[in-house]
Amino acid sequence: MKKVFMGLAALAFVLVSCEQEQENSPLNDAQEVQVDMSDFYVYTDEVTDVSSKGANGKDCASMKVLNANLNANPGLAKKMYDIEKNARKFIAAKKGGNGNGNGGNGGGDPVDPPVDDGLGVINIPVIVHVIYNNSNENISSAQIDSQIDVLNKDFNATNSDVGLVPSEFAGSVADSDFSFTLSQVVRVSSSRTSWGTNDAMKSSANGGSDAITPDTHLNIWVCNIGGGILGYAQFPGGSAATDGIVVSPQYFGTTGFVSSPFDGGRTTTHEVGHWINLRHIWGDGRCRQDDFVADTPSSDRPNYGCPSYPTAHCRSNDMTMNYMDYVDDACMYMFSEGQKQRMRAVFAPGGPRDGFIN
């Protein structure tokens, strides 16, 4: 009887401790918020407008890789659903509303004024893995530094071309409060001339380079992907062993071995956006498929080159200058406030990237 009593007492202590922990948890308010998840999806249609892509069209393989990972890992869809729900709760708790981002009408509505999410400036240490087959691919330290500089400017709206945003979207331009610092450069010589998108470059067993502390560092593999692919990213929720982004060397940074019209470092900005949970601006589907962000208008296709303003699809003007479209580097120069909220939510307590918060 004494053992039973002691067991009940211990259970009561655990329950009280859990209640106190929940009361003290920064996400307690968010956990109480009810959010609408009816619009959420994980698989995409990978829609591209081939007719307007042209010979030099941007090609990001992130959604194709995501679909392949979902097929290979049956538990990934549920994990991504839970990550999305937690992020929406966090956003909703901070600014009110249902947290689903699209306002119930597929996007285009303005978000609420910026709200302090309590996370402060988020520092992201970066580890760059340079995997090279020739001297051009063994990019210089100056080229790597130039890319870190672009990331800091693009994510904090200090890029020189942000003033080109048309007045329709100027009020949505976001300073996302991220700080990127170069932590380490790893260089690996390889006999391979191209790597594809099956993550082989992320394993030393395959002649690549293993991810380093991905729970607290952004790993970037710079290697020739091949097939005209500029880069790809892993969304939050995937395997730690492959977490990070991959960029071909000629599209990384702004100096050295770079290739126009993608020589402005914006491929990496785009892929880091995916890594922090942003979808393509057009939602990778038709007009009713959304990117889960309220202040990015609906569209049914990517834009290429340098489209004139306004360019309209789905009865609204496209935000072609957004980093999550496919336009040339010189013609993309903003994230939106809604995208900022979405990115920062994955760093909140209980989020998939909360290890970056000290």
Specify the pairing of strand 316-317 against strand 218-222: unpaired
Q: How confident is the model at residue 337 (pLDDT cuts 50, 70, 90)?
A: very high
pLDDT at position 213 is: 98
Distance of CA 52 to the CA centre of its chain: 25
In angstroms, the CA 280 to CA 209 distance is 28
CB 119 within 8 A of CB 27: no
Which residues are the active-site residues?
271
pTM: 0.88
Which SS3 state, helix, strand or coil, does residue 222 take?
strand
CB 203 within 8 A of CB 31: no
145-163: pLDDT as tens digits = 999 999 999 999 999 999 9
Number of residues assigned to the chain: 358
C-alpha triplet 313, 318, 324: angle, nearest 5°: 125
In angstroms, the CA 329 to CA 355 distance is 31
86-141: pLDDT as tens digits = 999 999 998 765 555 543 333 345 555 677 999 999 999 999 999 999 999 999 99
pLDDT at position 285 is: 86
State which H helix or E strand residue 118 sits in: none
Kindly tell me if the per-residue pLDDT of 181 is higher than 80. Answer: yes
pLDDT at position 105 is: 33
Kindly tell me if the per-residue pLDDT of 20 is higher than 70. Answer: no
Q: Minimal CA–CA distance to 298: which of 274, 267, 322, 273?
A: 322
Q: How confident is the model at residue 325 (pLDDT cuts 50, 70, 90)?
A: very high
In angstroms, the CA 252 to CA 265 distance is 5
Torsion of CA 120, 123, 124, 128, to 10 degrees: 160
45-64: pLDDT as tens digits = 754 443 345 456 788 999 99
